[in-house]
Amino acid sequence: MTIPTVPSLVVPEAFSRWLDSRGLIYQLLVDFYGRKPSLSLVAQWIRNRQLGVAAEMTEGGRELKRYLCSQEPSALPQICERENREYMRLMNERAASTIVAREAAELGREEEFCNVLSDVYASAGIVFKKCGGEADDHISIELEFMAVMHERMLYNSFSIRSAMELLEIQERFLEEHLLKWTPQFCERLNAATDSPLYLGLSHMLEEFLPQDLQMLRAWKTSLESSAATMA
């Protein structure tokens, strides 16, 4: 099917809330899965007014919102110290963590992932600055890829064609990577912790990714319908 280029991309109202919230959700997940929950990071998300809207998309998001926003400011340093220890116990590979937050390790296919994801990122023109030396298949890097592609789709798409191309990259990445291993990752995380922070994040992740794929597919159908009408 040939999709014609049009002067501008009109986002149907039915998808506006999802598009407004999904980038924020991906960034929140990147921040908390990619580094220890510092006081500044937690305070930043508590102050974020858009968090409340984005949180309503999943029950896990509502859990996380209730936990973060119910804390007294004076209690935050102690809470962050406790959650820092939990992050190190759960996810810091250098500290013999309980959970290995990498696709290859979760799927038991280490050798197959030497160049696969680096090629995916390079083909999209993305190079990550990895402050902690994360592997290309670390959960925070894979989620950041989705966050970057979302930003491109939302702010740099000037036609149905370009939106469709960026949409399809995200659809394939969810199908071929994130949704292949994060359900098992979340199951392990749920069993390994009683932290309200990491349980909320885990529940949010396992609910949001299938939902996001469903919405991408629905929007793709909408764009194809618009393209057919304009043909």
Amino acid identity, position 218? A
Determine the Cα–Cα distance for residues 177 and 106; give it in Å rounded to an integer: 11
Determine the Cα–Cα distance for residues 22 and 61; give it in Å rounded to an integer: 12
- 140 CB-contact burial (10 Å; exposed 0-12 / middle 13-18 / buried 19+): buried
Which two structure tokens, joined as six digits, stand for 106? 């979760």
Residues 6+ apart with CB under 8 A from 111: none
Q: Where are the domains of the chain?
A: 15-228
Beta pairing partners, 198: none
Helices (H) and strands (E) in the chain, counts: 11, 0
Determine the Cα–Cα distance for residues 61 and 55; give it in Å rounded to an integer: 4
User: 102 — phi, psi (to 5°)?
Assistant: -135, 140
206 close to 189: Cβ distance less than 8 angstroms? no
pTM for this one? 0.89
Predicted local confidence at residue 7, as pLDDT: 40
Predicted local confidence at residue 96, as pLDDT: 59
Predicted local confidence at residue 169, as pLDDT: 95
Q: What is the pLDDT along the chain (231 residues), one digit of tens a residue?
A: 343 433 445 666 668 888 889 999 999 999 999 999 999 999 989 888 888 888 889 999 999 999 998 989 999 999 999 999 999 999 876 665 678 899 988 887 765 665 788 889 999 999 887 766 788 899 999 999 999 999 998 876 557 788 889 999 999 999 999 999 999 999 999 999 999 999 999 999 999 999 999 999 998 888 888 766 665
Predicted local confidence at residue 9, as pLDDT: 54
Q: Tell the residue number behind the tokens 């592609």, with chain if given.
A: 149
Q: Tell the residue number behind the tokens 């809207």, with chain if given.
A: 53
94 close to 56: Cβ distance less than 8 angstroms? no
Determine the Cα–Cα distance for residues 142 and 2; give it in Å rounded to an integer: 30
∠ CA 75-69-31, rounded to 5°: 90
User: 138 — phi, psi (to 5°)?
Assistant: -65, 145
Determine the Cα–Cα distance for residues 82 and 36; give it in Å rounded to an integer: 11
15-228 in CATH: which number? 1.10.3480.10
